[in-house]
């Protein structure tokens, strides 16, 4: 990569403060508070700002490295975006996000915010409160999926943007690269552009233009573009990052969850079919448990909202305490490794490159 635009590797933060929306998710404080306790035990340099109703936070009074921040309202999982945005201005979700904007040095200033609240509301409130970074048209949601290399593939966008232009896809690639660099320590992660393989029908005009922009960005040392990838490459681990529009990303994520659930159910049915298969299940139990742990989707919980002037992580709404703790840990790693600075830095580099005259960059 070109040294003058390569991402810096800033020193990690020594202390990280997380704002936690304790009311979000299907289970609220019954899940988030135990998760916070477990997280604090494992992360001695973390501090938490626990945001919730006074009643809900009573259980956390006196916890070490915790500050309680009360909010009078709660965004329900089925609240429309407008309600979260315009009517519930003192919701735990919104208050937690606003803590990212407190003055540096203040005791209630958060480095990153985590919520299991509904995605549409979280994205809308975060965007309204924080605004997008310079050079970013639209924030994106990024998550990881397991792959055959026993690693993770980072996929974005997952539903924030239904219709994407080629420039949006380029921005997703840059933000995804910053995320993988920060969380996984790979400074030049590979980027694949999700496409379909058939000769006659290779992608829409948007995809073709995005490929041109990505090639130009790679030539300028801004990212490591592998080329087009197909749906199966997500699970092969062909690239570290797979970029797609939010409609496709959302459908693939949900279809994958559905397929995995179906296969798990079929395995369960087969092993409980009769006396013989139940005996076989006993013998196979340790192996099956190991397999289950390996593909446990709770381990991958914690999607990043990228492109905002503040770090927000989203937990699955149905997360249990173990899963929510993973989301806290991902958010902690991202903040500690200065994900926000990295995204900002990389986006600025890309903007500089795009400003240079060059037909490939301006093709779209």
Which stretches of the chain bind a second copy, using CB under 8 A? 80-81, 118-121, 123-124, 146-148, 159-163, 194, 196-201, 203-204, 230-236, 244, 246-248, 250-263, 265-267, 270-271, 273, 276-277, 279-281, 283-284, 286-288, 290-291, 294-295
Q: Is 221 left (phi over 0), alpha (psi -120 to 50) or beta?
A: left
Rounded to a whole number of angstroms, the minimum distance from the CB of residue 200 to a second copy is 3
Rounded to a whole number of angstroms, the minimum distance from the CB of residue 70 to a second copy is 27
- Report the distance separating Cα 41 and Cα 267, nearest Å: 36
Nearer to a second copy, 9 or 291 (CB): 291
Rounded to a whole number of angstroms, the minimum distance from the CB of residue 164 to a second copy is 10
- Report the distance separating Cα 94 and Cα 79, nearest Å: 14
Nearer to a second copy, 42 or 202 (CB): 202
Nearer to a second copy, 31 or 140 (CB): 140
Rounded to a whole number of angstroms, the minimum distance from the CB of residue 225 to a second copy is 19
Nearer to a second copy, 48 or 253 (CB): 253
Rounded to a whole number of angstroms, the minimum distance from the CB of residue 358 to a second copy is 27
Nearer to a second copy, 65 or 254 (CB): 254
Among 121, 220, 232, 108, CA closest to 174: 220
Residue identified by tokens 């139990």 is 285
Rounded to a whole number of angstroms, the minimum distance from the CB of residue 122 to a second copy is 10
| Pairing of the two strands 140-146 and 152-156 | antiparallel
Q: Which residues contact 314 (CB under 8 A, 6 or more apart)?
A: 114, 115, 116, 117, 119, 122, 141, 302, 303, 304, 305, 327
Nearer to a second copy, 43 or 138 (CB): 138
Rounded to a whole number of angstroms, the minimum distance from the CB of residue 247 to a second copy is 6
Question: Crossing angle of helices 29-42/321-336, nearest 10°?
Answer: 50
Longest distance between any two alpha carbons in the chain, whole Å: 72
Nearer to a second copy, 97 or 329 (CB): 97
Rounded to a whole number of angstroms, the minimum distance from the CB of residue 278 to a second copy is 9
Nearer to a second copy, 11 or 283 (CB): 283
């Amino acid at each position: 990569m070109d040294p003058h635009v390569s991402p810096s590797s800033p020193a990690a933060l020594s202390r990280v403060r997380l704002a936690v929306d304790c009311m979000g998710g299907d289970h609220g404080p019954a899940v988030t508070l135990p998760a916070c306790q477990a997280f604090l035990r494992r992360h001695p340099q973390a501090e938490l700002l626990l945001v919730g109703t006074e009643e809900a936070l009573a259980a956390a009074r006196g916890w070490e490295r915790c500050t309680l921040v009360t909010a009078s309202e709660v965004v329900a999982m089925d609240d429309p975006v407008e309600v979260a945005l315009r009517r519930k201005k003192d919701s735990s979700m919104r208050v937690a996000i606003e803590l990212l904007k407190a003055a540096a040095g203040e005791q209630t200033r958060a480095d990153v915010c985590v919520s299991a609240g509904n995605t549409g509301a979280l994205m809308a409130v975060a965007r309204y409160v924080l605004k997008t970074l310079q050079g970013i048209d639209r924030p994106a949601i990024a998550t990881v999926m397991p792959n055959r290399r026993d690693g993770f593939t980072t996929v974005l966008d997952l539903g924030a943007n239904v219709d994407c232009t080629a420039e949006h896809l380029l921005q997703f690639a840059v933000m995804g690269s910053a995320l993988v660099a920060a969380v996984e320590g790979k400074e030049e992660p590979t980027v694949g552009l999700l496409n379909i393989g058939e000769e006659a029908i290779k992608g829409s005009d948007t995809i073709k233009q995005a490929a041109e922009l990505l090639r130009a960005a790679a030539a300028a040392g801004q990212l490591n573009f592998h080329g087009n990838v197909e749906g199966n490459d997500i699970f092969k681990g062909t690239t570290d990052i797979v970029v797609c529009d939010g409609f496709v990303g959302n459908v693939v994520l949900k279809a994958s969850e559905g397929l995995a659930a179906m296969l798990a159910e079929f395995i369960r049915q087969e092993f409980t079919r009769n006396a013989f298969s139940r005996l076989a299940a006993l013998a196979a139990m340790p192996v099956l448990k190991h397999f289950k742990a390996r593909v446990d989707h709770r381990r991958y919980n914690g999607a990043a909202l990228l492109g905002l002037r503040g770090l927000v992580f989203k937990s699955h709404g149905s997360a249990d305490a173990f899963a929510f703790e993973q989301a806290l840990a991902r958010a902690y790693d991202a903040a500690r490794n200065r994900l926000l600075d990295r995204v900002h830095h990389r986006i600025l580099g890309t903007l500089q490159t795009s400003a240079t005259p060059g037909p490939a960059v301006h093709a779209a």
